[in-house]
């Protein structure tokens, strides 16, 4: 699976949009981009995934560049409960057997 | 509905002892994963079960680690002759195991401390 690069930490003001970048310059054509987050003392939680089109769900939006070498996770109105470590993962397809390969992630701190 | 549960939530043991960590997946999920997370790092894959069989155990660090899932539901991760370096949070995840997208649902983890 392709390697990802994320900033170690970011701050965001409560109520503002949080934009979390991820570089995956070696991504292959059949690899998806996944985002998970891990709130303190909990297991990781799935947020969103995409292949090449932008995606939106009730939690977040995922913007993937046209060349697919980078992406941005957007939390449109960050709350204190969004403080967590956010992991960007790329992996081939989404078959059940594929494990997740986590990097260090971005520690997002949402401040009042 | 009930999520993935793991017991115990905390386990303290002495170096050289044997420990068992239990995972109860979401009912009906055929795929089950174990991960290990050291302080300040992302989770690392250990082993994946599809049904009762271990389909991929490439992440197990050595032969002191073993996992079973005899009836295709509950899984137990077993660690023999524990070492201080085994101290970590052990996470279990399950997914439906169907064709197509399979979100992995994680439990809260078991924090293992080896003294």
Q: Residues B47-106: pLDDT tens digits?
A: 999 999 998 999 999 999 999 999 999 999 999 999 999 999 999 999 987 776 778 999
Is A24 in contact with A64 (CB distance < 8 Å)? no
Distances (CA, A) of A82 to A16, A21, A86, B91, B93: 12, 16, 10, 21, 21
Q: Assess whether pLDDT exceeds 70 at residue A96.
A: no
Q: State whether residue B103 sits within 8 Å of chain A by CB.
A: yes
Among A94, A97, A104, the residue with its CB nearest the CB of B56 is A97
How crowded is the C-beta side of A29, counted as CA atoms within 13 Å? 0
Whether residues A43 and B48 touch (CB distance < 8 A) is answered with no
Separation in Å, CA of A49 to nearest CA in chain B: 10
Quote the mean pLDDT of chain B: 94
- Residue A71 — very low, low, confident or very high, per pLDDT cuts 50/70/90? very high
pLDDT at B67: 97
Total count of residues recorded for chain A: 112
Place of tokens 């078991």: B110
Asked if B43's CB is within 8 angstroms of A95's CB, the reply is no
Nearest to B21 by CA among B36, B6, B5, B39: B6
Instruction: State the smallest CA–CA distance between residue B92 and chain A in angstroms.
Output: 8
Chain B residues closer than 8 Å to A87 by CB: 42
pLDDT at residue number A2:
64
Closest-CA residue of B relative to A92 is B101
pLDDT tens-place string over residues A21-46: 999 999 988 889 999 999 999 999 99
Omega into B7 within 30° of 0, i.e. cis? no
């Amino acid at each position: 699976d392709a390697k990802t690069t994320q900033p170690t930490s970011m701050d965001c003001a409560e109520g503002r949009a949080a934009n979390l970048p991820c570089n995956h310059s070696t991504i292959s054509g059949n690899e998806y981009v996944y985002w998970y987050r891990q709130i303190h003392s909990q297991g990781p939680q799935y947020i969103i995934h995409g292949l090449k089109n932008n995606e939106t769900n009730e939690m977040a939006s995922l913007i993937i560049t046209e060349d697919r070498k980078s992406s941005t996770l957007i939390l449109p109105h960050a709350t204190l409960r969004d403080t967590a470590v956010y992991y960007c993962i790329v992996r081939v397809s989404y078959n059940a057997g594929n494990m997740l390969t986590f990097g260090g992630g971005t520690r997002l701190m949402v401040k009042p | 509905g009930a999520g993935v549960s793991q017991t115990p939530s905390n386990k303290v043991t002495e170096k050289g002892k044997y420990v068992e960590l239990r995972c109860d997946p979401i009912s009906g999920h055929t795929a089950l994963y174990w991960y290990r997370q050291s302080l300040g790092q992302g989770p690392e894959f250990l082993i994946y079960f599809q049904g009762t069989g271990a389909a991929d155990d490439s992440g197990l660090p050595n032969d002191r680690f073993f996992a079973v899932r005899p009836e295709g539901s509950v899984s137990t991760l077993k660690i023999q002759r524990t070492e201080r370096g085994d101290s970590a949070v052990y996470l279990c995840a399950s997914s439906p195991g169907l064709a197509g997208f399979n979100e992995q649902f994680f439990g809260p983890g078991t924090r293992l401390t080896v003294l």
